Chains A and B, each alone.
Chain A
Amino acid sequence: MVLYGVAALALCMLIGMLIGDGLGVLVGVDANVGGVGFAMILLVVATDRLRRRGLFPKPTEQGVLFWSALYIPIVIAMASTQNVAEAIGGGPMAAIAGLGALAAGAALVPVIARIGGQSQPLPPMTEAEKQEA
């Protein structure tokens, strides 16, 4: 049943959000502290265990994979609803602050990625994977 996958995904997300909001209350900030991150970790661990025991059959899996495939279209919709006009209208100071933070962060990527040994690049995408994207 496809819905089992969607329901499992939604349950993971709700639990993650609860943890994130709970942490926010605990440390006294009005924000969700990493709810999506906790949800992702939960989904990875839970589905890994279920799959190994054969409790996550193909149709159920499809319910998760469908949403994962919708990810890029959703991101495009998100891009089209950003407040780009205000971002550009913010003037040079806002632009320099934003760009500076980006440049400094990007420069640190190779440094931090080196900690604990270099990683191999992913293999080139197969034709099937390109089709999906």
Chain B
Amino acid sequence: MDIIADVLERNGLLFAFVVVGALMLVSGWLSKTLTRGRLQGSAIAIMLGLVLAYLGGIQTGGEDGLADIAIFSGLGLMGGAMLRDFAIVATAYGVDLQEIKKAGAAGVLALMAGIVVSFIVGAAVAAAFGYTDPESMATIGAGAATYIVGPVTGTAIGASSEVIALSVAAGLIKAVVVMVCTPLIAPFIGLNNPKSAMAYGGLMGTTSGVAGGLAATDKRLVPYGAMTATFYTGLGCLLGPSVFYFALVGLFG
């Protein structure tokens, strides 16, 4: 047994390919037999991945889901930021330049609207739960944007670590729910063309959520949504500790 575990740990990335391959095979079969193909195999595989991440998380108490268990550590490499971004950039190969130009203005507007709306919703929820100081409202509002913008904003303006942790949790919830819900809400919000995908990416922001959600909806939409989503975090980190925080200080400080 020790030898097997040792080999799997030393070749973590290879084992991750096998694990994900098996997960996709099972999901494809579930998609065909249980949903008659209505729910895509990739959507089921992403949900299974999230469930495994939960189990890994409560098993080890770590932050990286299943990758915290030593033999599955290769999943952290395979699903880490470098390879993920590399593959996302690759999806842009062959996208239609005309579509991007057509959706350009809507994409920029979606970005601004998405960040402002997330900030406002997050700050309002924070206030409703009794976090009425501008630092806490700004940090939780930023967390509702993404789980990266939350801690960046909180650290910059000196929010308490409890509030920063809550902002991370809010962003994680958003990412997870976007992954699971995108294929379900897609028909109702017209998410079936490059233009609405660019609007969706800009409004949601969470790159991991949008990437997973669109992959599970229609993979041809991925590059368009991912392109706007990747600008969101940077813009959020810029606006959170500055414009948004000072607006809250002016209103409630």
Contact = CB atoms under 8 A, between A and B. Distances in A.
Interface of A: 9-10, 12-13, 16, 20, 23-24, 27, 29-37, 39-41, 43-45, 47-48, 61, 64-65, 67-68, 70-91, 93-102, 104-110, 112-113, 115-116, 119-122, 125, 129, 132-133
A87 B196 CA distance: 28
Contacts of A35: 85, 230, 234
A106 B185 contact: yes
A94 B54 CA distance: 17
Interface of B: 16-17, 20-21, 23-24, 40-42, 45-47, 49-54, 56-58, 61, 63-67, 72, 75-76, 78-80, 83-95, 97, 100, 102-103, 105-106, 109-110, 113-114, 117-118, 121-122, 124-126, 129, 140-141, 143-145, 148, 152, 165-166, 168-179, 181, 185, 189-196, 199-200, 202-205, 207-208, 211-212, 215, 218-223, 226-228, 230-231, 233-235, 237-238, 241
Contact of B95 (A27, A44, A79): A44
Contact of A100 (B52, B125, B171): B125
A98 B174 contact: yes
A90 B235 contact: no
Contacts of A110: 189-190, 196
Given A30-B237, A100-B122, A77 B20 contact: yes
Contacts of B237: 24, 29-31, 33
A24 to B, nearest CB: 7
Nearest to A113: B196
Nearest to B168: A86
Contacts of A13: 85-86, 89
Contact of B49 (A79, A85, A105): A79
Contacts of B93: 9, 43-44, 47, 61, 64-65, 68
A45 B121 CA distance: 37
Given A74-B87, A112-B106, A97 B144 contact: yes
Contacts of A94: 143, 166, 169-170, 172-173
Contacts of A70: 87, 90
13 contacts: A9-B89, A44-B100, A75-B42, A76-B42, A84-B57, A87-B176, A90-B166, A105-B118, A106-B200, A109-B190, A109-B191, A119-B194, A125-B220
